[in-house]
Amino acid sequence: MVKIYLLNGSSEKRSFLLEKEVTVVGRGSSSDIVIDDPSVSRRHAKIIKKGDRFYAEDLGSQNGTWINGHPINPNFQIEIKEGDSIGVGNVSMSFGKPFSEEGMVTQFSISLSDRAEESWKDLLSRAEQITDRDKLETIYDLSTVLLQSFDITEICQDMLDSVFSCLPGIDSGAVLLVDPESGEPKEIIARTRSHEEAGEAKYSHSIVKRVIEEGKAIVMADVRAEGEEDLSNSIVMMRLKSLMCVPLISKSEIHGVIYVHSVRAPKGFSKDDLFMLTALSIPAALAIENAKLFAERGLVEEALEKERIALEKRIEKRTNELANANRLLKQEIEEHRAAQENLKKMHEQLKEANKNLELAYARMRDSKDRLRSHVEGEGIVFLTDENGQVLGFNDKALEATGLSRFKLLGLYIGEIFDEESRAKLEADLRDAAAGLFHQTQLRFASGESSGDLYQAKLSPINLQAGKNLLLSLQKPFMEA
């Protein structure tokens, strides 16, 4: 026959045969298995036999029924197997065989990591059964306060203070958050009942590690009920009587845990206390998540601000570079425009100079032609400067004067004529300086043609050396 084994927190352990098709468990005397514990309802749960299979069903009890640490919904049958743990109120039962667990033993646990949304709905429905006015006000006040802060240390401090105020059985507590780099729990705040101020508090590292790994809220209501071989060294060494540890979970991410324990008396914490602590963990986890997001946002905004400042500096530098380049470009354009204007002016001047050069060349060619015609003609020709100094002459001039080339070159023109002619020539030279030219009659002072009267004409001629005068004399003038 199949038995169910009862552990009610004392050293006494009892067992019951499951002989009926339906076995009712409760505090009432009409129950098949009577458990005299205030946490157990009068008709708490029933165990149903169907052939070789067994099922457990909660009958709408006040404190719920648990299978292997998981609460079950009322009036819903869950199959149980040999070795499964059944919790009714604060009492644990083992189905099919006596208690024989390895490692740490927990009386009650709530899984929050698997199907977190459903677990939270169940949790909130349980929280609605909390009738203690002070506890309800604590949950409300904590939710309001935590969601107004973005400082993680402040959030953890307020949360731990609220836990101490509503759970008088706590001797020591701590809030630990998972370090994002190492993945290890890091103590944020800790305190003891004897020291109201925050300070160093010991805690079970093995419990904290297990809660983070499994995502389960656990309570060990009476550590005495567990054998020392089932407990961790830290629990034994600290002589703990009861403890609770709840994960801080939001959006399926475990941020850390709330840990509390008692060293004064066994049964320091109940299943309701676990519900209360877990209810407090919900706004705390949300507040911590918001604080992390706020911190990340601050880092992002700081990085963006640094990048904005750097970008503004780069833009300012580039703007200055472009402004300087634009200024230099305008300067080059202006210089180019001025150069174009100067080039245009020079081109006009060159055209004008070329035109003048062509005119001068034409005049020179005309003068050259006239000079050639005079020099090569039958007349006598002298070339002088404006002062009358002889610069050149033709062969007929040598014959007419009877002077040598050496003596005639550089001689004042007036000296080769007689005194009367010299006076006329000097007057003609003065008029020539004023731009007036005349024809006159001149007579040589010596030579073959001395005594003969010549028709003379003084005319200007422009050569490369400057402005000169050409004195040409024609055949002797026959006197009457």
Backbone angles phi, psi at 378, to 5 degrees: -85, -15
The structure's pTM equals 0.49
Residue 347 lies in a domain: no
CA distances (Å), origin 424, targets 409, 436, 478, 480: 21, 14, 19, 21
**272 shares a domain with 151:** yes
| Overall domain count for the chain | 3
**193 shares a domain with 88:** no
**157 shares a domain with 128:** yes
Question: Among the three residues 247, 267, 296, which one is the final residue of a domain in this structure?
Answer: 296
Do the beta carbons of residue 458 and residue 428 sit within 8 Å? yes
**28 shares a domain with 118:** no
Domain with 218, as residue range(s), is 111-296
Helical segments of 167-270, H only: 205-214, 233-237
**263 shares a domain with 141:** yes
> Quick count: other Cβ atoms within 10 Å of Cβ 347?
10
- Distance, CA of 367 to CA of 455 (rounded, Å): 21
CATH assignment at residue 68: 2.60.200.20
H or E element in which residue 126 lies: helix 116-127
Residue 448 lies in a domain: yes
Q: Which of helix, strand or coil describes residue 8?
A: coil
Do the beta carbons of residue 262 and residue 242 sit within 8 Å? yes
What's the token pair of residue 30? Answer: 């009409």
**179 shares a domain with 256:** yes
User: Which residue has 């020709």 as its token pair?
Assistant: 381
User: Which phi-psi region, left, alpha or beta, contains residue 200 (left: φ > 0; alpha: ψ -120 to 50)?
Assistant: beta
**87 shares a domain with 178:** no
**225 shares a domain with 137:** yes
Residue 350 lies in a domain: no
**274 shares a domain with 139:** yes
**94 shares a domain with 38:** yes
H or E element in which residue 249 lies: strand 242-250
Residue 318 lies in a domain: no
**287 shares a domain with 419:** no
Residue 400 lies in a domain: yes
The DSSP letter of residue 280 is H
Question: Among the three residues 101, 119, 137, which one is the final residue of a domain in this structure?
Answer: 101
> Tell me, what's the pLDDT at 128?
46
**128 shares a domain with 209:** yes
- Distance, CA of 229 to CA of 113 (rounded, Å): 28
Beta pairing partners, 448: none
What's the token pair of residue 311? Answer: 């970008």
Question: Among the three residues 273, 296, 319, which one is the final residue of a domain in this structure?
Answer: 296
Q: Where are the beta strands (DSSP E) in 36-178?
A: 45-50, 53-58, 65-67, 70-71, 78-80, 85-88, 91-95, 108-111, 172-178
Residue 342 lies in a domain: no
Residue 309 lies in a domain: no
- Distance, CA of 256 to CA of 296 (rounded, Å): 18
CATH assignment at residue 407: 3.30.450.20
Contacts of 87 (CB under 8 A, 6+ apart): 65, 66, 67, 69, 93, 107, 108, 271
Question: Taking the CA atoms of the chain, what radius of gyration do you get in angstroms?
Answer: 65
Look at the chain and count its residues. Answer: 480
User: Which residue has 């003068």 as its token pair?
Assistant: 367
pLDDT (tens digit, 0 to 9) for every residue of the chain, 480 residues total? 789 998 754 445 689 999 899 999 999 999 999 999 888 999 999 999 999 999 999 999 988 888 876 788 899 999 999 988 898 887 888 998 886 544 334 556 666 665 444 444 454 445 444 545 556 666 666 667 666 678 888 888 888 888 888 888 888 899 999 998 888 999 988 988 776 544 556 788 888 898 998 888 888 876 665 555 456 666 666 677 788 899 999 877 889 999 998 877 656 677 778 888 888 888 888 888 888 888 888 888 888 999 999 999 999 999 999 999 999 999 999 999 999 999 999 998 889 888 888 887 887 777 667 666 655 666 898 999 988 999 988 888 888 888 999 999 999 999 999 999 999 999 988 888 888 887 889 999 887 777 788 999 888 876 655 678 889 888 765 554
Residue 360 lies in a domain: no
Q: Which of helix, strand or coil describes residue 288?
A: helix
H or E element in which residue 355 lies: helix 271-376
